[in-house]
Structure 1
Amino acid sequence: MANKAEGTEDLFGARMRAWERMQAVARQTFAPYGFAAIETPAMEQVSTFVHGIGESTDVVRKEMFRVFSGALLDRVFAAGSDAGLKPKQRLAMRPEGTAGVVRAAVENNFVPQGGAPVKLWYAEPMFRGERPQKGRLRQFHQVGVEWLGAPDPAADAECIIILMDFYRALGIDPAHLHLAINSMGDAACRPAYREKVRQFILDHADEMCEECRERAEINPLRAFDCKNDHCREVMAAAPLAHENLCEECATHYEQVKRYLDEAGIAYEEDPTLVRGLDYYTRTVFEVDYTPDPAIGAIGGGGRYDGLMELEGGKPTPGIGFAVGFERVMLALEAEGVNLGGEEPSCVYVAGTEAEMRPAVFSATLALRRAGIRTEADYQGRSLKAQFKQADKHNASLCVVIGPDEVAAHTATIRDMGTHEQVSVPMDELAARVAERLA
């Protein structure tokens, strides 16, 4: 028997309803802000992610799933690398959503010169080859938003407000959420700050892990994210971003905080927050679920004003966030929130004997065409067994059709809770069922 791949899960039943519900809540929450849905391919050229996420990140270096056809895989094995492949042949499964959306914006000219900003949201599976654990899968799901073309700090604040509204709409107590924010500077001030951190790591190289020593040359800011406790202790004394911002970045950051204060959004400044992807500039933010530290971050994002250029477009500011479905589900379970809910109720149409099958078929068809969720027997069960099946389908009403009903062109509607029964004309069945359901 074939089993699912390690680090994946089958979405069905309550779990699938929860994912659908999360998407519905996202649509309802994002709509007042003018966000439209987008879906990008699950596969992109590798360069899309290398340009956007950064070649030095763990996502690109260690976790990105590469995609080859059988013939191309033979060529790669024979050559010992994929260097001989054309860019369009070098593909990867998307490990996150922003780079693909920005690529789509460049390719389809979503933000023309002088055009209005574009606001997009997505709900898609992502793929990363990391060690599977609770709430962290190799195929996971994210809901995210991307706002392209808006440099105003109000856009930063509104993205954070939307994110916190989304959690509240899902059913998470705001008091159980910790919002951390920081500014990482921009192209004007970040290089000098990056060099300061690099030099700090080199000065303390004998105290740092091998990976952090490597990061000093590739992306020193990632050392703030090191999982090694001693490295974190050392980095606590490193130069901090907010102390090295240029005047323009400092002003932008202060305005973001003023907008958050005005909106009543509680936050804590974390000068070590850098997020894990290279494309971030200026504002970054992350949300943790505090009652259970093991759950950790359940979402975050930031500004990425240089990403459109890296993907081949003209300079265009951008900001967004992403929320992990699997992580949020852990928080919702801890909150006692059943996002998937119970199986939807239905109407069950039962025939008292096999000869009633044509009448059952007609009644079922009429109810479904009226938009009523309807089930029936397709296995030749007895009437008693059909009633049991109706209970399994969570039927609130059962329409019973026997010889007397067929002769009188009627149907009997049975309330599955009270067992009350009423006879109605067959041509009024859909309307009468709809009334009782309402």
Structure 2
Amino acid sequence: MTDVTITGGPSLPQERKLVTSIPGPKSQELLARKNAAVASGVGVALPVFTVAAGGGVMIDADGNSLIDLGSGIAVTGVGNSAPAVVDAVKKQVEQFTHTCFTVTPYDGYVEVAEKLNAITPGDHEKRSALFNTGAEAVENAIKIARHYTKKNAVVVFDHAYHGRTNLTMGMTAKNMPYKDGFGPFAPEIYRVPTSYPFRDGLSGAEAAKVALTQIEKQVGVANLAAIIIEPIQGEGGFIAPAEGFLPALQEWATRNGVVFILDEVQTGFARTGDLFAANHEGVVPDLMTLAKGIAGGLPLSAVTGRAEIMDSAHAGGLGGTYTGNPIACAAALATIETYETENLTERAREIGAIIEEFFAELQKDDDRIGEIRGRGAMMAVEFVESGSKAPNAALTGAIAKYAGEQGVVLLTCGTYGNVVRFLPPLSISDELLRDGLQVVADAITAAA
């Protein structure tokens, strides 16, 4: 254990401050221990070891204060160690830590289900089931859809990311690092083109026609249990589809008796400037998969959807030892309340406007910034070779490396490895956000 003792939460000084190089000597020592003890397949993006976090900063083992522009991949939307979450977790730990809901249930699980049924899109009767991870939620949504329709085929999209289990690896598009050498994968998964306006130039209706024609001709409606799509693709590059694409998919699925699933694992819970990304175009899915921002950093996920579909699985068909853990449920209730009481959907829109304006100004003089896209506090910049749309993965990697060395936690993504994504906690201050963005701008200049 590190000998650095720092109080966490939003009380931490909200500043970027480096007292050593990155990574510092204590982080390097811990990294050596990690390499000796942890499987090498568990990689790290930035080799600094966190001892405290809150607001918009992370403190490492050497006492460096870094700006957090990743939120643990969109998990700590309410900020790390948010006071309401900490209080709820402490109270629940003192009562009990586990019983297994499918053995002896407890009210926290029921309260979370009730809340999700109330706040997710649509006024139809709903049911929810809780799990641990986003991939687990996706896998169970597919189980439920197949059980309900008595069909097997599932359609996914180019650039999709749905998880790392065997089934969800088969649904994920990108080979490295997620799939390479881990097959064979589950059958009856079919991939079709998505809407990628920057690269395909199609309207939402045109892109939907391409995808739906391929589904009809190559999969067959009679075989299709479900269509699943991220309303903004995450690992694939923060690809926001053209307007009209998602509604067209939903309408076709409803008309043909196909379960329409929105994977809101990364987009959900205020991240895009609305509580759910589906709300931007009034899309009402049959099922939704939820995780990441749901519980302030504790592991919890959910499938929420139409009662008749959710109730189709037999008793005992859904569940697991840790699913809907009482501590995570307590954290989720406090987290959702924090989104609502602190108006964090509006804060996400403010953050998105700052990021978009900042890079739009840079783009005027640098054509390597191919596109600025996203919604709310889920923004991205796609980098290209000057004078073309050829992906520029080398520049993207150099930017992330420079940012890390200067004390900014920055994530990349994209099928082509050429996208920098911005997922700051919604608790970040404008001043801290702008400091982090300036470091990214300096990195772009340094890589000229």
Same fold judged by TM-score > 0.5?
no
Structure ranking higher on relative contact order (CA contacts 8 Å, 6+ apart): 2
Question: Comparing both structures, which one devotes a greater share of its residues to strand?
Answer: 1
Q: Give TM-score, length-normalised by structure 2.
A: 0.24
TM-score (norm 1): 0.25
Structure with greater proportional helix content: 1
